[in-house]
Amino acid sequence: MPGLEIDGLRVSIGGRDVVRAVDLHIAPGSCAGLVGESGSGKSLLALASVGLLPRAARVTAGRIILGGDVTVTADLDRTAKVRGSGIAMIFQSPRTALNPLLRVGHQVGRVLRRNGQHADLTRRCAELLGAVGILEPGKVARLYPHELSGGMCQRVMIAMGIACEPQMLIADEPTTALDVTVQADILDLLDDIRSRTRMGMLLISHDMSVVAERCDSISVMWRGAIVEAGTSRTVIGSPRHPFTAELVRDVAHRPQPKDRPAQRSPAGPADGPPTEARG
């Protein structure tokens, strides 16, 4: 089956399972969403797919298959070879994910060179920066990350990600640190790239509304395991797992319109006593 297939993957750190028997499939050209709280293991799952697990973590079971080739199993890690042209990843904090000492054009060029493409670097880097919506790409290529806004840094990171036309792109909270209008622009850009190149995408977020808006399918992760998965419509419309329901409630909840100033008397909106459950 083409695309990215994660099959029964298990990752553990120090003997403790942090990713438990996860099954996930991303078809070429589609966008799959992975949603869960921090600590649910979603980032580790992503890192396992590109072979960037921290040293303390190990794949203990299952396999990852990209375009029909097995790339990751408990004993095998061929991901180094497929990184770049097979599967690419972009991260949350664009400014810290870029090397502060190198010009951004240079960093894009490095990706190309590392994947054996040495020809015509300056022009191709400028082209890539233009393709991600950066104005005056030739000029911007000569700037350092600290001279760019957060949104522009993220665009640079996307340029580095798509430089070698990967089959799959994993985006781990790509817009969490950005303003909401920039967030929408970046997600539009990713959608655009997907439709042009048939690249598949895994969009990871803690925000159900982001995932609901952009993804064809949603998998909900909780404490290392996938507790619910399905098309966006079914997962949002009729969540079966209580955690999914709560995630949906977190973003769909629309309170009573508060058009009147609160009265001094205790007869205020009936929110009830605060629950201790989630701190």
Partner 1 sequence: MRPLIEVRGLRKDYRRGGAVLHAVDGIDLALMPGEAVGVIGESGAGKSTLARLITRLERPTSGGVFYQDTDVTSLSDRALRRFRREVQPVFQDPLTALNPRWVVRRLITEPLKIYGERDAERRVDEVLRDVGLGKDLMTRHPRDLSGGERQRVAIARALVLRPSMLVLDEPTASVDMATKRTLLALLNRLQSEHGLTCLYISHDIRTIEETCSRTIVMYRGRLAEEGPTTAILSSPSHVYTQILMSSIPRIDSAETRPGRLRARPFSRQHLPDTGCLFAHSCPRVQPECATDPPVVEVTPGHRAACVLAGRASDHSGVTPS
Residues that bind partner 1 (CB under 8 A): 37-38, 133, 135-136, 149-150, 179-185, 187-188, 206-210, 212-214, 232-233, 236, 246-248, 250-255, 257-264, 266-269, 271-279
- Residue 5 DSSP one-character state: E
133, 185 contact by CB (below 8 A): yes
16 or 260, CB closer to partner 1?
260
29 or 133, CB closer to partner 1?
133
Q: Order of strands, edge to edge, in the sheet holding 87-90?
A: 87-90, 168-172, 200-205, 31-35, 217-222, 225-231
In whole angstroms, how close is the CB of 221 to partner 1 at the nearest point? Answer: 14
- For residue 175, give the nearest of 57, 86, 72, 91 by alpha carbon: 91
In whole angstroms, how close is the CB of 196 to partner 1 at the nearest point? Answer: 18
In whole angstroms, how close is the CB of 75 to partner 1 at the nearest point? Answer: 36
16 or 263, CB closer to partner 1?
263
CA–CA dist 90, 202 (Å, integer): 10
- For residue 95, give the nearest of 141, 135, 154 by alpha carbon: 154
75 or 181, CB closer to partner 1?
181
56 or 275, CB closer to partner 1?
275
CA–CA dist 208, 233 (Å, integer): 12
In whole angstroms, how close is the CB of 1 to partner 1 at the nearest point? Answer: 25
58 or 223, CB closer to partner 1?
223
Question: Mind giving me the DSSP string for 144-188?
Answer: -GGGS-HHHHHHHHHHHHHTT--SEEEEESTTTTS-HHHHHHHHH
In whole angstroms, how close is the CB of 208 to partner 1 at the nearest point? Answer: 6
The count of C-alpha atoms lying within 13 angstroms of the C-alpha of 77, restricted to the half-sphere facing its C-beta, is 13
> Strand pairing partners for 22?
9
In whole angstroms, how close is the CB of 24 to partner 1 at the nearest point? Answer: 20
For 204, residues 6+ apart whose C-beta sits below 8 A from its C-beta are: 33, 34, 35, 42, 43, 46, 170, 171, 172, 173
In whole angstroms, how close is the CB of 117 to partner 1 at the nearest point? Answer: 28
15 or 272, CB closer to partner 1?
272
